[in-house]
Structure 1
Amino acid sequence: MLPTSSIGSADLAAALTAGTVRVVDLTASLSHATPVLPLPPEMAPIPRFALEPLAYYDDEGEISMQHGIHTGEHTGTHVDAPIHWHSGRDLEDVASIAPEKLVAPAVVIDRVAECTANPDYLLTRDDLLAWQETHGPLPAGGWLLYRTGWNERSHDQTAFINADENGPHTPGISVDCARYLAEETGMVGLGVETVGTDAGQAFRFDPPFPAHSFLLGSGRYGATQLQNLAELPATGAVLIVAPLKIVGGTGSPARVLALVDAADDTNGEQN
């Protein structure tokens, strides 16, 4: 376990240099091929990521290459700020998130087997209570990372969204789990491997999209389309979430990293 309670900045720098603390990149590559969530016709579509060539060591810029960036706030690995949802409309934009909430302890709960068997699997409050009996309480001021194995599909839009005539079928959290995280824990954020923090069928729930409704409505945050959660231990990682500081932004593409003890071999046992 990374000794976050006592490690100093010099110790951390030395550990990073020595390789005893490892940096794990949890970010999906961002390109035009990055999956996006299809929205109903009555809603504005989420833009795909695109680069606009501006200069390529040519007459437009003989000594440089540069691009314009075109994307949506909620494209690829990204952060949801509270004002993204109607329940948090009077709360923070992405530029207002306190930096100490973006560098925080993280725990991982693993439900890959369940989600492989049932793409509509929902994490419940009882799941989290059982996890805490083994691993201890959820860390106040920390992030819960929900491992489902869905990152294995992130190379393919169709497989990642997994939709049929009844809509998308992707894992998420139940209504009681969302309410529990928002009302009974000190967690500041939920991170997932799927395209959004809610299940694909969450538009049918009461309330619809409970992860967005309860968590963003209580001033918490979401981080989506994460990768490499299998490389993290159940407890002991430190998460670094780095969205762009967009004034008025409802979210932002982000680079998400984790610091872990290099001696910790998770063996996929985050349950």
Structure 2
Amino acid sequence: MSVVEKLTMALGDGSVEFLDLTTPLGRETPILSLPEPFANTVGLSLSAVSSFDDAGPGWAWNDMTVGEHAGTHLDAPVHWISGRDGKSVDQIEPARLIGPAVVIDKTAEVARNPDFLLEPADFEQWEDENGPLPDNCWIIFRTGWSARGSNAADFINADDSGSHTPGVSPAGARWIAANERVSGFGVETVGIDAGQAAAFDPMFPVHWFLLGADKYGITSLRQVDKLPVTGATLVVAPLPIVGGTGSPARVFALVEAS
């Protein structure tokens, strides 16, 4: 029996399960909002083409308007100035979008401090406890933040000084970008950078360093609390938008049944 046949059988008999990490994309899904004078993207809107009516008596379909960076979405290198000569979302090799999931759990720290930042020491501690990062891995930052996802105000968590959501320090972002084993970085929050990252040097360092190093980001993940620290395989499925700086994506994990 081939490896693929074994995987298919495992999925069929439930010994390997699909865990959907995607936020459902609807009109109320929270999206990133930048302060003036910057322009903002749009969320999802649908307009009916026909709905079992004179325009189409036997079928229903919609036209859709949605920003590339709405809901659970992938950031491609060309999204950021540091990666502007890199890959658009349609050019990312599928093999880079499937790989081991590595979970760094800072739920307790984020509960105490919503502005918590990952530092190089956090990644090094993970390796001390679990071994070297596997090749082609996706680091998933577990924070518990997705529990806020049903309330846009709580999810964005903004005040007069801006948004307060967890993220990665500039030094931590450099560490991820320099690690050849890492393909991407995933978060439960609305963006891959911390809410206060506009004040960092450089601004938005995860965008700057990762996208400039041909690595990718995934945002607004859910059910991260159900992922094992190691052993799951992440599957990221964006639309292959030609020239796209990103795309809404369906994100799954393949997890061995307990």
Same fold (TM over 0.5): yes
Gaps of 5+ in 2: none
Read off the aligned partner of 2:220 and give its amino acid letter.
Answer: Q
Question: Percent same amino acid at aligned positions?
Answer: 50
**Is it true that 1:98 corresponds to 2:68 in the alignment?**
no
8 Å contact from structure 1 (residues 94, 245) kept in 2: yes
- Report what 1:107 is aligned to: 102
Which runs of at least 4 in structure 1 moved beyond 3 Å after TM superposition? none
Read off the aligned partner of 1:47 and give its amino acid letter.
Answer: V
**Is it true that 1:187 corresponds to 2:197 in the alignment?**
no
Match among 197, 201, 213 for residue 218 of structure 1: 213
SS in 2 for 1:188: strand
**Is it true that 1:160 corresponds to 2:155 in the alignment?**
yes
Deviation at 1:184, TM superposition (A): 3.1
SS in 2 for 1:130: helix
- Report what 2:197 is aligned to: 202
Gaps of 5+ in 1: 1-6, 264-271
SS in 1 for 2:61: strand
8 Å contact from structure 1 (residues 138, 185) kept in 2: no
- Report what 1:169 is aligned to: 164
**Is it true that 1:257 corresponds to 2:258 in the alignment?**
no
**Is it true that 1:151 corresponds to 2:151 in the alignment?**
no
C-alpha distance in structure 2 between counterparts of 1:87 and 1:138, whole Å: 25
C-alpha distance in structure 1 between counterparts of 2:52 and 2:179, whole Å: 56
SS in 1 for 2:56: coil
What's the Cα RMSD here? 0.9
Match among 15, 19, 22 for residue 17 of structure 2: 22
- Report what 1:49 is aligned to: 44
Residue correspondences, number? 257
C-alpha distance in structure 2 between counterparts of 1:251 and 1:106, whole Å: 21
SS in 1 for 2:182: coil
C-alpha distance in structure 1 between counterparts of 2:221 and 2:155, whole Å: 13
C-alpha distance in structure 2 between counterparts of 1:184 and 1:39, whole Å: 30
SS in 1 for 2:123: helix
SS in 2 for 1:115: helix
Read off the aligned partner of 1:121 and give its amino acid letter.
Answer: F
- Report what 1:116 is aligned to: 111
**Is it true that 1:76 corresponds to 2:104 in the alignment?**
no
Read off the aligned partner of 1:36 and give its amino acid letter.
Answer: I
Deviation at 1:185, TM superposition (A): 3.8
